[in-house]
Chain A
Amino acid sequence: MPAVSVDTFFACSLMVMLVLSAMAITTKLVFPSMNATSNRNLAERYKETSKYLLLNTGKPSNWGQNSQTALETFGLAKPNTDSEYDLDRDKVSRLNTENAYGLSYPDMFTSLEIPDLSFRIKIEPLFEVSTKLAGAFLSGDDTVYEFEISTDKQGAPVSAQLKIYVVAGEYLNSMSVLVTNGRISQNITLSNSVGGPALLIVLARSLYNDKIVSFDALAFAHNSSQPISRRTLLKLSPLDYSLNVSLLDSTIVLTDAHALTFSYNSTLLLTSNTTMSTTYAIPRFLDDSMTVLVVTGWNSTTFFAEWTIYPQVPVENGADLANSSTLSSIFSFTYLVTIDSSIYECTIWVGGPKE
């Protein structure tokens, strides 16, 4: 090969490498700087939009309680509140698609009246409670179940007080437990004369602040087959301190309904009953943190216990921003919000179309 061809080959290779390096450097260094001002403006606009969602009541201001009224403007704030980022229990519940009166994303998007923005909202407790059945053994006429319960925030232990409720057939019992290092092993004894499946509800409250709450629920077999999955037989929709129970099977017979909070519990009062729907009144307890609502009944010969929480958190609703190829510049904003007396974390993602 002549020397001039070798020279040309190396010169071309060098040039290609230089061009590729220039492209990479341009991408990583120059474009972010070029777009910085525009990104700052975008971030500011999106942040104001996210605050608008949390600081405005929407129109009508009681759209959360009244499922019959058409939503004109979207906003989650509680009306007549003297606190910032104080959200309405029913508006938050209507973000949950499990609720029969839940809003779809098109409803929220249309009523926000900002056509060039897509958004997604997530509201969740500040820490997680996780319950696992570790084992079970017979003890005379009883069965003892061993549960491992952990309270943590992203792996870091949270000291908490627990209120544990067990529901099985007509049996309802509760106990209080202290968790100081984020993990506890708790035995629950159930008589073998009680029919199952059983439901374990764990309500947790930070040891140092009553406003920081969380919960978990676990259904387990007791003198029965494995419990059926949630929302198979009933759809529970709490709204305006009223629990609407939609029966998904005509053979279902309801027996009891309970409201369980950290400090109080009560049987729910039946207010209306039709063939496929039943309504109960939810009491307004002095403890206005999260309330677990449990409805028990029979499907032919099988006992079941269905549950939901009021307000219906954790909840996530909105545009599918992760898989969207038409959006760019997605920003997320985190807020601490209160729903009645409890504090939750709210994350809002806002994105706009590609320019």
Chain B
Amino acid sequence: MRRENAGQIRILEAFFSALVIFSAFAVSSNIPVSQNVSRSSDLASIGMQALIKLDFDGSLGRYIDDGNWTGLREVLGVVLPEGTSFNLTVYNEQMVQLNSAVISNSEFGSQTVTCAEYICVSQRSAFHSYIVRLYLAMAA
């Protein structure tokens, strides 16, 4: 190669480099990308919906009044969407835990855990209010 053509070769190299970089961006933008949208806000929302639906006819208060923790765990397992891990804790007004058994379907791993907090009032003649905390995560 003659010394006087070296500049032209450098321009060609720069041109091809730029072409390669821009084509990389152009091609990669068209490669399908899976949507990795966080579902934590949706989970909290559906957890809250589940508690509201169960409380609409007073069922939630009845489970707590009766200490029916098995029933509450089974119902939550059916109502919450497939693949949801949950752990529910019931407190009284003094924030003393009431549930004597664990109301959960599985252990939480390293997933993002979200929480829905709901105040439930018993529909029986004696007034009782409960604070229900429902922790939720998508099973790994």
Enumerate chain A interface residues (CB-CB to B < 8 A).
Answer: 19, 22-24, 26-28, 31-32, 35, 39, 43, 47, 83-85, 126-127, 153-154, 156, 158-159, 206-209, 211-212, 329-331, 333-336, 338, 341, 343, 345
Query: Chain A's interface: helix, strand, loop or mixed, by majority?
Result: mixed
**What 6 pairs across the A-B complex have the smallest Cβ distances?**
A208-B71, A27-B28, A23-B28, A26-B28, A336-B49, A154-B82
Contact residues on B (Cβ < 8 Å of other chain), bracket = 20 to 34
Least CB distance from B61 to A in Å reads 13
Least CB distance from A182 to B in Å reads 11
| A28–B31 alpha-carbon span in the complex (Å) | 9
| A156–B82 alpha-carbon span in the complex (Å) | 10
Given contacts A27-B28, A153-B82, A209-B59, are A336 and B53 in contact (CB under 8 A)?
yes
Write out, one digit per residue, whether chain B residues 64-99 have a CB within 8 A of any chain A CB (1) or not (0). Answer: 000010111011011101110000000000000000
> Please, which residue of chain A has its CB at the minimum distance from the CB of B72?
A208
Least CB distance from A36 to B in Å reads 9
Instruction: Decide: A27 and B81 in contact? CB cutoff 8 A.
Output: no
Contact residues in B for A336 (Cβ distance below 8 Å): 46, 49-50, 53, 79
Contact residues in B for A19 (Cβ distance below 8 Å): 20, 24
Contact residues in A for B49 (Cβ distance below 8 Å): 84-85, 335-336
Given contacts A26-B28, A159-B74, A208-B71, are A335 and B46 in contact (CB under 8 A)?
yes
Q: List 6 A-B contacts (CB under 8 A).
A: A23-B27, A27-B33, A47-B42, A158-B78, A208-B71, A334-B42
Given contacts A336-B50, A343-B53, are A126 and B28 in contact (CB under 8 A)?
no
Contact residues in A for B56 (Cβ distance below 8 Å): 83, 338
B121 at the interface (CB under 8 A from A): no
B116 at the interface (CB under 8 A from A): no
Instruction: Decide: B37 and A23 in contact? CB cutoff 8 A.
Output: no
> Please, which residue of chain B has its CB at the minimum distance from the CB of A31?
B33
| A212–B63 alpha-carbon span in the complex (Å) | 15
Write out, one digit per residue, whether chain B residues 8-39 have a CB within 8 A of any chain A CB (1) or not (0). Answer: 00000000000010001101110101011100
